[in-house]
């Protein structure tokens, strides 16, 4: 017949094993969550950089003037959904806020500061990044 000490040792060993298993699962889950959030931050920066790249190709300074009717950011904020994965099985939605402001007018040169902010609300806390760019026009 088994002694009570062996049963007690087995019970304690099972409890310790269960605690180690739970902690390992929590660590894996926390790592996976951090990786997912880091990927969202990377994608948000890429979306903002794409908007900045579009500004680099604007040749008419009226498109960056908030008081002009051809202002490129008149219809912002906009929401973009990006799909990714080997079969496009994943998607993320980003809200893009963009504005420009005249920061210098010397008569021979105009400078606009363009601010692009991107928000993703799929994780807690939300991913929110801001990029600034200065565009100059000389006359």
pLDDT of 20-77, one tens digit each?
999 998 888 888 888 888 888 999 999 999 999 998 898 888 888 888 888 888 888 9
Model confidence pTM above 0.95: no
**Within 10 A of 137 (CB to CB), how many other CB atoms are there?**
15
Residue 2 has pLDDT above 80, yes or no: no
Residue 1 has pLDDT above 60, yes or no: no
Residue 91 has pLDDT above 70, yes or no: yes
Which residues lie below 8 Å from residue 11, measured CB to CB, with a gap of 6+? none
Q: Could you tell me the strand order of the sheet in which 90-105 lies? A: 78-84, 90-105, 109-120, 127-138
Q: How far is CA 105 from CA 52, 62, 64, 65, 137, in A?
A: 21, 13, 13, 12, 10
Q: How far apart are CA 38 and CA 48, in angstroms?
A: 15
Task: With cut-offs at 50, 70 and 90, classify the pLDDT of residue 85.
Answer: confident
Computed over its alpha carbons, how large is the radius of gyration of the chain? 26
CA angle 30, 127, 84 (to 5 degrees): 80
Task: State the average pLDDT over residues 103-113.
Answer: 86
Q: How far apart are CA 91 and CA 80, in angstroms?
A: 10
Residue 17 has pLDDT above 80, yes or no: yes
What's the total number of domains in the chain? 1
**Domain region containing 36:** 4-138
């Amino acid at each position: 017949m088994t002694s009570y000490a062996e049963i007690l040792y087995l019970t304690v060993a099972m409890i310790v094993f269960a605690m180690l298993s739970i902690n390992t699962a929590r660590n894996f889950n926390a790592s996976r969550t951090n990786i997912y959030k880091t990927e969202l931050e990377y994608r948000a920066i890429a979306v903002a950089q794409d908007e900045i790249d579009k500004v680099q190709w604007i040749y008419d300074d009226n498109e960056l003037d908030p008081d002009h009717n051809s202002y490129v950011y008149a219809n912002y904020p906009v929401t973009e959904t990006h799909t990714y994965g080997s079969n496009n099985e994943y998607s993320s939605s980003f809200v893009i806020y963009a504005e420009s402001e005249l920061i210098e007018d010397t008569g021979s040169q105009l400078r606009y500061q363009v601010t692009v902010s991107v928000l993703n609300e799929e994780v807690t806390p939300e991913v929110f990044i801001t990029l600034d760019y200065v565009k100059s026009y000389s006359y």
